[in-house]
Amino acid sequence: MSTLQPGVASVSSRALGVLLDSWRASSGPGYLALAERIRLLVLDGRLPVGTRLPSERELAAHLGVSRTTVAASYAALRDGGHLVSVRGSGSVVRLPARVTLPRPESTEGLLDLTKATLPAVEGVAEAAVLAAGRLGAYLETSGYDLVGRPVLREVIAERYRRRGLETHPDQILVTVGAQHAIALLARVLVSRGDRAVVEAPGYPHAFEALRLAGARLAPVSVTVDDGWDESSLLQTLRRTSPPVAYLMPDFHNPTGATMPADQRRRVLEAAAAEGTVVIADETMAELVIDEGAAGPGPMASYGPAVLIGSAGKSLWGGLRIGWIRAERPLVERLVRARSAGDLGTPVLEQLLTAELLGDFDRIKEERRLQLRRGRDRLVTGLREAFPSWTVPSPSGGLTTWAGLGAPVSSQLALAARREGLLLAAGPVFGVDGAFERFLRIPFSYPDADTDRTVEALARAWDRLGTVASPQAPLLASVV
CATH fold, domain 13-93, is Arc Repressor Mutant, subunit A (1.10.10)
Q: How many angstroms from the chain centroid is the CA of residue 419?
A: 23
CA 477 from chain centre, in angstroms, equals 20
- The three-class DSSP label of residue 58 is helix
pLDDT in tens, the chain (479 residues): 333 333 335 788 888 888 887 777 666 788 888 888 888 777 656 676 678 899 989 999 998 899 999 889 999 998 888 888 877 678 888 866 543 433 333 334 789 999 999 999 999 999 999 999 999 999 999 999 999 999 999 999 999 999 999 999 999 999 999 999 999 999 999 999 999 999 999 999 999 999 999 999 999 999 999 999 999 899 999 999 999 999 999 999 999 999 999 999 999 999 999 999 999 999 999 999 998 899 999 999 999 999 999 999 999 999 999 999 999 999 999 999 999 889 999 999 999 999 999 999 999 999 999 999 999 999 999 999 999 999 999 999 999 999 999 888 988 998 999 999 999 999 899 887 678 889 999 999 999 999 999 999 999 999 885 443 333 333 332 22
CATH of domain 111-117+362-466: 3.90.1150.10
Distance CA 390, CA 127 (A): 41
Positions of CATH 3.90.1150.10 in the chain = 111-117+362-466
Q: Which of 437, 442, 453 is nearest to 385 (CA)?
A: 453
Helices 347-357/150-162 angle, 10° precision: 30
Phi, psi of 239 (to 5 degrees): -80, -35
Nearest to 419 by CA among 453, 449, 445, 469: 453
Q: Which residues partner with 463 through β-bridges?
A: none
Separation between Cα atoms, residue 448 and residue 50, nearest integer Å: 39
Q: Based on the number of CB atoms within 10 Å of its own CB, is 80 exposed (0-12), middle (13-18) or buried (19 or more)?
A: middle
DSSP-derived 3-state class of residue 172: strand
**Helices 56-63 and 67-79 meet at what angle, rounded to 10?**
120
Q: Read off the pTM.
A: 0.79
Which fold does the domain 124-360 belong to in CATH?
Aspartate Aminotransferase; domain 2 (3.40.640)
Q: List beta partners, residue 199.
A: 220
Question: For the chain, where do the domains classified as CATH 1.10.10.10 start and end?
Answer: 13-93
Rg, Å, the chain Cα set? 23
Q: What angle, rounded to 10 degrees, do the helices at 204-212 and 178-189 form? A: 30
Residue 427 and residue 433 in contact, taking contact as beta carbons nearer than 8 Å: yes
Residues 156 and 357: beta-carbon distance below 8 Å: yes
Q: What is the pLDDT of residues 36-91, one digit of tens each?
A: 888 877 765 667 667 889 998 999 999 889 999 988 999 999 888 888 887 767 88
* Pairing mode, strands 172-175 and 216-223: unpaired
